[in-house]
């Protein structure tokens, strides 16, 4: 039960990171290394 919950949390976290990365790539605020540019 705990393992399943942890796995779901990890999967959601990875999914969120992938979506954020794809969004940033789409709007063009990635540098060559794929890291977020510090615009703040």
pLDDT tens-digit map of 2-23: 889 999 999 999 999 999 888 8
pTM (global) more than 0.75: no
The DSSP result for the chain, as a single string, is: -HHHHHHHHHHHHHHHHHHHHHHHHHHT-B-TTSPBP---
pLDDT tens-digit map of 21-38: 888 777 776 655 555 555
């Amino acid at each position: 039960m705990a393992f399943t919950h942890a796995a779901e949390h990890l999967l959601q976290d990875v999914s969120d990171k992938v979506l954020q990365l794809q969004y940033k790539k789409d709007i063009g605020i990635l540098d060559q290394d794929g890291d977020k540019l510090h615009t703040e």
